[in-house]
Structure 1
Amino acid sequence: MSQINEVLSALQLQGNFSNIIFATLLTILAYFIAIKFYRQSGQSPWLQPVLVAALMIIAVLQIPSLDYGMYKDGTGILDFLLGTATVALAYPLYKNLPLIKANLPAIVLLIVTGGVIASSVAITFAWLFEGSTTTILSVAPKSITTPIAIGVSEAIGGLPSLTAAMVILTGIIVAVFAPWMFRMLHIDDPMIKGMVMGINGHGIGTAAAFEIDMKTGAFSALAMSLMGIYIATFLPVVLTFFVSY
């Protein structure tokens, strides 16, 4: 019994189970409807399922008897599944392993430079708009997947909720505009498209990359994973050093 309680505690499920049922059903229903809209529109980039589902959930939470705190308290199991779902990305990586090995030096260079640029741009814009130190620390990890970004934000003194919002916003922007930019710039290489979407768009960008083709999705998943490791390892050290001075 104590082991069950430990698992429930880890998943934040020991609160009100009505909140859990409400939050889970609302999220699944909103995403299902958003997927239907997305497919019926011919996969319009302006109707990204994550964006549409989020807007629907926000609209529902405007009902006076509901609030965000109630919804958030019930999403523990979804947070847990979000982290474990990334394991499925190992399959497309395995299928494209020879191509990944052949381009490993270029991939490493892209990850290193892309990570520095992504964080630097976010920090610079927050500073130019006179954001507080907390705000700057919150937006710095905006280009890595949500579970890792939240952990990094907590470690460096940011606001996890603001970080999560920036991560989702960044992913939606990449999912909407990246395919259009590839067409405008006549970029057809799956590796380039995948790396760009994974470095900048993390999970949402990777989902959009898989809609292009499996190879683009595989490289996006690789970029997302490596960016998560890279940023989570070095960003807290670098920012803690600068903040201390």
Structure 2
Amino acid sequence: MQATLTIYLLEDSVDDVYIFNNIVNADQNSTYKTVSFDSLSSLQTAIEFITPDLLVIDLNLPESTGLQTLVAVKAISLDIPIIVLTGNDETLGVEAIQLGAQDYLIKEEITPSSLMKAIRFAKERSMLFTALEQRAIKDKLTKLYNRTTFDLRLENFEADFDRYQRPYALIMFDLNGFKAVNDENGHVIGDKILQHVADRFQMFNRASDFICRYGGDEFVLIAPDVEIR
């Protein structure tokens, strides 16, 4: 049995919602559940309760127009794939993709087939982007954040302290005798130890804490909102 794909449609035109639903229902090869919203606020409220598989958005709303609408949706979308609906303006569609949408469709040209292709492409592109993003910010071996991400996050913690006097603790530590483990047992065993240590960190640190592999057997923990005595 094919899984139902949940689509949130941001569209303030009742006629366009009706047309879109007819196109969706005409697709005999897929099962969709479409929920429509006529404002950014109602869309945001819905996303906070249930995350859809896909967002399809019209850029022209009473409260927002053009690419500003996409920027607003991106701020609340939680990395949900986005397909933009446009009039006869392919340039706007291309700009939307450059701004973070996964694909665009021209309203007058939507068919069940083109919609299905756009949905598949949007989901694949979103998954690829997420994977690449994770590789850029995470350490491949331990799945902890890497040193580059640490440098960026430390700047944020310092800025919060300078502006709001929000205290934080920074703890650096390494594994004693780890070189001997690698020399005597090989790097495969050493890698497993590093992974085990990383798993323990992720089990016991607070949700607000930041932990990274600084390099080799060195780790860094940043703990915000600590009490200074």
Q: Please give the range of the TM-score, normalised by the shorter of the 2 chains.
A: under 0.3
Q: Larger relative CO (CA 8 A, sep 6+): 1 or 2?
A: 1
Larger Rg: 2
Normalized per residue, which structure has more helix?
1
Normalised TM-score (structure 1): 0.22
Normalized per residue, which structure has more strand?
2
